[in-house]
């Protein structure tokens, strides 16, 4: 923290706290044009992964989605989220099955050619576990 109480990242954009930076200000400084990424864990329009996907899309990224099953994709499609994100790459991924995550990366590499970023925002543990410290969470609590 600096003398004004801002974290170091806030001083990158006009010295403002991170939660006061507009998308237009970010666009002026950063871009994800030409970048390709996979977002794991969008469950609905209130999920953290959805907010991350919106920001990445707004900054020019091409987005692929990995969700638990086809039912989740159907719900996202019904709400217009898949179209809003332009997510043509979609892959089912049961996060508790170690081989599924590898399958997503292999399919994404085939589809995109390369992957520039990954956002993993899936949690299935108890409320206490997923709201605590990441280092204190069990494997079952994270996936």
56 vs 20, residue with greater confidence: 56
- Predicted local confidence at residue 62, as pLDDT: 95
What confidence tens digit (pLDDT) does each residue in 62-111 have? 999 999 889 999 999 999 999 999 999 999 998 778 789 889 999 999 99
- How does residue 113 score in pLDDT terms, banded at 50, 70 and 90? very high
The pLDDT tens digits for 37-50 are: 999 989 888 888 99
Tokens of 16: 């403002």
| Closest-CA residue to 118 (of 67, 71, 72, 65) | 65
For residue 16, count CB atoms less than 10 angstroms from its CB and return exposed for 0-12, middle for 13-18, buried for 19 or more: middle
pLDDT bin (cut points 50, 70, 90) of residue 36 is very high
Contact 42, 76 (CB under 8 A): yes
Residue 60's CB is within 10 A of a number of other CB atoms, namely 13
Residue 47's pLDDT is 86
pTM for this predicted structure: 0.69
């Amino acid at each position: 923290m600096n003398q004004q109480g801002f974290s170091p990242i806030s001083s990158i954009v006009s010295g403002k706290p991170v939660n006061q930076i507009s998308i237009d200000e970010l666009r002026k400084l950063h871009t994800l044009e030409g970048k390709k990424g996979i977002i794991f864990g969008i469950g609905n329009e209130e999920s953290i992964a959805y907010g991350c996907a919106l920001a990445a899309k707004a900054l020019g990224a091409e987005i692929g989605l990995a969700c638990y099953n086809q039912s989740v994709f159907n719900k996202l499609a019904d709400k217009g989220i898949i179209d809003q994100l332009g997510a043509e790459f979609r892959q089912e991924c049961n996060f508790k099955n170690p081989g599924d995550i590898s399958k997503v990366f292999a399919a994404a590499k085939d589809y995109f050619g390369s992957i520039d970023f990954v956002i993993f925002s899936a949690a299935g543990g108890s409320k206490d576990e997923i709201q605590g410290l990441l280092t204190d969470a069990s494997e079952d609590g994270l996936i």
